[in-house]
C-alpha cells in the first residue's frame, strides 16, 4: 500500500471541504432562494476580485525581494508604481462596495403579498407563527420547523424572548440576529423545494449547538395541504393508553408549559404540541422524532439537552408509555 503523501492528504481534505460546501441542505454556496443567490453574487465578486489581488501582491513582493537585493529603485519608478496600485485598489474597492450596497438594498426590498411569519427564538428552541392579518383564526403556531411555499416571498419577523440568538439558513438567506426588545425582519423567497437546515448562529448559552431549525420548502399545493392540516384541531386519542396519556398531560405538569389546541392544555412557555408528531425532530433538532426518542425525552429531558427548561417529570413506566402514545397520536 502506498503511503499518503502530503499532496494527496491536501487533495483529500480539499475534496471533503468542497463536498461539504456543495451539500445543499446547509450551504451558502448552493443557494436555493433569491436572497441566498444575491448573497452568492457578493461572495463570488469578493472571491474573484480578492484572490487575484492577493496573488498579485504576493508575486510583486516576491519579485521585489528577489531582484532588489537591498537596492532601492528610483523615486520616479516607485511613484508610478504606487499611483497605479492606488488607482487599481480604489476602482476595485468601489466595485465591491457598490455591489454590496445594491445587494443589501435588494435584500431589504418590501415584497408583494408576502407570507407573514414570526419566529421567536427561545433558550433553546424556535417558535414559529404563521399570521393571517385578514383572518386571525387562520394563524398557526408550531415549533422548530419552518415550512415555506416555493416561489412566494415570506416576510419573517424575528424576535427573541431571552438572549440574543441569530437565525441562519445559509441555503436560503443571510444571517439575522434576534434581539430582545428589538424586532428584526428578513425576507426569504425560496425557489427550490427541499429540506434545508437552519442553525442558531450566535452563542446563546449551554444548548446553543442544539438549536437547529428544519426548513421545508414545498410546492404551493403541498404547502396549502400542510397549512390545512395544521389548522385542524388536535387528533383525539385513538387508544385507551393514549386517552390516559391525554389526561396525564392535561392534569400533570405538561399542560403548564405546552398547549394542544382544542384541549385543556394551554401552556405557552414551551412549544405548541397540537401537531407535534407531524414534525421530524424533537427539541430543536436534538433528537429524531420517533417513539423511542419521545419516550426517552419525556423520562429525562436533561439527559439529552442539559439546561433545557423542561424539568424531569416524575412518571412511572406505564405513565410514560401513555403520554408517549398520546404525543405520537398528535399528527
Site for ligand CUA, rule CB under 6 A? 121, 124, 165, 200, 202-204, 208, 211
Residue 251's CB is within 10 A of a number of other CB atoms, namely 11
Taking the least distance from each CB to ligand CUA, the nearer of 138 and 208 is 208
Taking the least distance from each CB to ligand CUA, the nearer of 124 and 249 is 124
CB of 166 to ligand CUA, least distance (A): 7
- How far apart CA 23 and CA 265 sit, in angstroms, is 40
Taking the least distance from each CB to ligand CUA, the nearer of 144 and 230 is 144
Scan for cell 437547529, then name that residue.
212
- How far apart CA 32 and CA 36 sit, in angstroms, is 7
- How far apart CA 110 and CA 294 sit, in angstroms, is 41
Taking the least distance from each CB to ligand CUA, the nearer of 207 and 274 is 207
CB of 205 to ligand CUA, least distance (A): 7
CB of 200 to ligand CUA, least distance (A): 3
Residue 258's CB is within 10 A of a number of other CB atoms, namely 22
- How far apart CA 249 and CA 276 sit, in angstroms, is 14
- Angle (nearest 5°) at CA 58 between 55 and 63: 125
Closest CA to 34 of 190, 198, 196: 190
CB of 302 to ligand CUA, least distance (A): 18
Taking the least distance from each CB to ligand CUA, the nearer of 35 and 120 is 120
Closest CA to 295 of 278, 309, 282, 308: 282
The x, y and z cell numbers of residue 34, run together, are 433569491
**Burial degree of 52 (CB within 10 A; 0-12, 13-18, 19+):** exposed
Taking the least distance from each CB to ligand CUA, the nearer of 179 and 243 is 179
CB of 282 to ligand CUA, least distance (A): 17
CB of 159 to ligand CUA, least distance (A): 13
Amino acid at each position: 500500500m502506498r503511503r499518503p503523501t502530503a499532496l494527496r492528504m491536501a487533495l483529500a481534505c480539499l475534496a471533503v471541504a468542497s463536498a461539504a460546501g456543495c451539500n445543499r441542505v446547509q450551504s451558502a454556496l448552493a443557494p436555493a432562494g433569491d436572497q441566498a443567490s444575491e448573497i452568492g453574487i457578493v461572495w463570488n465578486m469578493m472571491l474573484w476580485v480578492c484572490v487575484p489581488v492577493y496573488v498579485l501582491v504576493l508575486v510583486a513582493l516576491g519579485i521585489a525581494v528577489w531582484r532588489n537585493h537591498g537596492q532601492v529603485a528610483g523615486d520616479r519608478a516607485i511613484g508610478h508604481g504606487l499611483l497605479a496600485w492606488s488607482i487599481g485598489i480604489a476602482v476595485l474597492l468601489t466595485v465591491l462596495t457598490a455591489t454590496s450596497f445594491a445587494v443589501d438594498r435588494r435584500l431589504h426590498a418590501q415584497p408583494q403579498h408576502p407570507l407573514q411569519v414570526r419566529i421567536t427564538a427561545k433558550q433553546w428552541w424556535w417558535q414559529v407563527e404563521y399570521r393571517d392579518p385578514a383572518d386571525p383564526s387562520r394563524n398557526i403556531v408550531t415549533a422548530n420547523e419552518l415550512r415555506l411555499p416555493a416561489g412566494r416571498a415570506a416576510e419573517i419577523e424575528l424576535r427573541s424572548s431571552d438572549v440574543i440568538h441569530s437565525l441562519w439558513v445559509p441555503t436560503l438567506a443571510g444571517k439575522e440576529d434576534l434581539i430582545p426588545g428589538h424586532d428584526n425582519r428578513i425576507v426569504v423567497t425560496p425557489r427550490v423545494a427541499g429540506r434545508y437546515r437552519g442553525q442558531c448562529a450566535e452563542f446563546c448559552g449551554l444548548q446553543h449547538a442544539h438549536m437547529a431549525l428544519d426548513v421545508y420548502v414545498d410546492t404551493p399545493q403541498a404547502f396549502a395541504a400542510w397549512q390545512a392540516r395544521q389548522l385542524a384541531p388536535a387528533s383525539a386519542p385513538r387508544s385507551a393508553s393514549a386517552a390516559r396519556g391525554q389526561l396525564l398531560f392535561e392534569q400533570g405538569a405538561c399542560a403548564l408549559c405546552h398547549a394542544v389546541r382544542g384541549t385543556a392544555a394551554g401552556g405557552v412557555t414551551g412549544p405548541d404540541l397540537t401537531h407535534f408528531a407531524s414534525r421530524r425532530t424533537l427539541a430543536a433538532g436534538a433528537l429524531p422524532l420517533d417513539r423511542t426518542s419521545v419516550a426517552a425525552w419525556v423520562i429525562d429531558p436533561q439527559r439529552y439537552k442539559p439546561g433545557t427548561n423542561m424539568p424531569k417529570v416524575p412518571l412511572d413506566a406505564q405513565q410514560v408509555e401513555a403520554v408517549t402514545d398520546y404525543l405520537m397520536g398528535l399528527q
